[in-house]
Structure 1
Amino acid sequence: MTSAQDITRSVNPPRAAFLDFPLGHTTGKPHESDLQRQILVEALTSFETMTAPGSMKELPFRWSEDEEWKAKAFAEGDDRTPRHDTPQYQDEEDRRRAVQGGSPSCPVCRP
């Protein structure tokens, strides 16, 4: 899933679902679980039906009735947290788990 159509096309993934929402909101608006569910179901369904490599489906959802949010996003610039070359942790417990190899109860974190 993507909200950056040009970037996604340049990396040429096998399939992609494009949502014309602000960056960081690729699966919908905050606190709107019904909308988020609809977006995810539509995206997953489109992944099942896209057969041509590099296919991209534009999902039919809109952030707002008009496009003013785009002008505002470009005018205000990038306010994301700066990136670092070294790992950043939420707290000391997060750092400790990362150093130890993750949580033993997490199937993804297990070495």
Structure 2
Amino acid sequence: MGLVARAIEAAGIPTTSLSIVREVTEKTPPPRALYMRFPFGHALGEVGARNQQFDILLRAFELLFEAEEPGTIRDSGLRWKRESYPDPDFERFRRLGPVARKAHAD
């Protein structure tokens, strides 16, 4: 995963990877990775859990703009368990817009 992400970044496209095996991610670190303590095949959460999946994607986008060091691996803080997630916080997503524009201008 890290090798592919680095090749994509070399072409000028920023990336954030989702990881479910931290040890493997540490051996071939991508530019940025969000570590999920989820089972294999479920890096984006439970099937059909739209709110959970939106939350995970938002965390990945936040990492994309907040990571200051190459090879950053951030623990998502989420655990695999059945729970209900609140409706997506679209305002939180909109606030990334100015951050994204600033990062792109640098």
TM-score by length of 1: 0.55
After TM superposition, give the deviation of residue 64 of structure 1 in Å. 2.1
Alignment match, 1:31:
48
- Tell me whether 1:61 sits opposite 2:63 in the alignment: no
SS state at 2:19 partner: coil
SS state at 2:62 partner: helix
After TM superposition, give the deviation of residue 14 of structure 1 in Å. 1.1
Alignment match, 2:64:
47
Q: Which protein is richer in strand relative to its size?
A: 2
- Tell me whether 1:8 sits opposite 2:25 in the alignment: yes
Deviation per CA, 1:27-75, whole angstroms, max 9, x where unpaired?
Answer: 111110110000110111112100101111110211128xxxxxxxxxx
Distance in structure 2 (CA, Å) of the matches to 1:46 and 1:23: 22
TM-score by length of 2: 0.58
In the comparison of the two structures, how many residue pairs are matched?
65
Distance in structure 1 (CA, Å) of the matches to 2:51 and 2:81: 16
The list of structure 1 runs, each at least 4 consecutive aligned residues, that deviate by more than 2 angstroms after superposition, is none
- Residue ranges of structure 1 left out of the alignment (5+ in a row): 66-111
Q: CA RMSD in A?
A: 1.3
Larger C-alpha radius of gyration, 1 or 2? 1
After TM superposition, give the deviation of residue 13 of structure 1 in Å. 1.1
- Residue ranges of structure 2 left out of the alignment (5+ in a row): 1-17, 83-106
Distance in structure 1 (CA, Å) of the matches to 2:35 and 2:74: 6
Q: Which protein is richer in helix relative to its size?
A: 2
SS state at 1:47 partner: helix
